[in-house]
Structure 1
């Protein structure tokens, strides 16, 4: 498959997504669409699917001929055509819905034995509740106001799915807490959108520090500081001995040596991150154990 063919396939994906978005927005706005317009939209979607199939299949077949397994060949073909932003959004959505099932079953996602978990949902619970109420209200009102059956059905499906997705996003945060494992390493998460592992050897110090950060969920600056804010605030600051690589929700990467994140119980999180200093034997020249270098408040 030539580079030009791959570019055409990627453009087709974005064109199909934008056309579907425009169609939904038009229906929500109450625009009367003719049968020809609806038929054209469906033909566009079918054409995009056909084009993607014609591009993906040769890539898949070529990988299979080289000995790749079916799953690996399919993933390689999809990654070659589907933009990374689209792939990541779909993965985030699938993980959120999976987390909703875990929440119903009162289970957490991959909490190993001996790990300590720390929740971070407190600042956003009321906001997510307000979003849920507004989504339910909007779905009901639109279902009562709009008289056209096809539009009514589309809006009902979109409204119900949007309401479920709001609950799923919150469920992902509940079922995927921050973790401090038995070896002292940190797994920093925000629902299904962000996941960062920090080895214990890189953790230099931790302290309780409440800061109010503007901007989005994940914010980084040129000084190597990464903010993972919940409700526009962080409560724990972590200094690292070396840089750690991270990936933002939409795929952009970077590195940081200072991490700021929110924990509902920041003192407990800092106490888990700061290791116990090794006792030093007393000598005639000292009256007590030497204070461990680089440890923040909350050390034991």
Structure 2
């Protein structure tokens, strides 16, 4: 029986490690250690019992499960027989010894488990501390960023308020200057203009596109001011005025060359340095609406006001 459980080369009992029983092609069994040595020497395994060759690699040779099971069963039977041969007192002593060994193993496992639990608890606490620290740092960073943004917004708002205040002051100055000009013009008897024609001038909140100092308007400058009203910047429409060159002017022409508003081409040539290009748009002086240019006489597309033909002065 023992010969079956031993390697025929090294005469060592088979086990599940280096002496693992391997079954050759011929059916005989060798331990893994001896088979490896034979394979290293010749590149193949020669069975020591029948001299037959096995060209397989060590990893390709299967091991004998039956021999391993038999070894384990014999070991259990040997332990049982050994235990049965003992006297009752010896059995009790052996049982106590086995119990103490098992108890010691349990204590060892419990100690190891407690150590692992302590390590895990420490790691857990460390991770929680790091998370808390990171959260606090993130919170502080967000609060700081929010504070910076609030300051930037407040500063920007203050800058915008200052700009609007400057614009308001400038607009007020322009409005006051226009009132001064209007009052001066209303007190002049040399100009042949009705009050109703001049009334919208007092409502201006910005200067028209004329080169004139509103704060120092005198009689001569006032007359030039009225003449210069023939040129009006776009989106700065004022009340109807009388053209110096034609009568019955009730609209402005918009030439293609500069897209400004003029009573006639002569008014344009007096102010501009470039050549007049025929107008394709016109602006009604009654409703101040821009529209396509049409031959006179015609009616406004918006207010239906009648536009007569102009006559040279």
TM-score, normalised via structure 2 length? 0.20
Max Rg structure: 2
TM-score of the pair, normalised by structure 1: 0.21
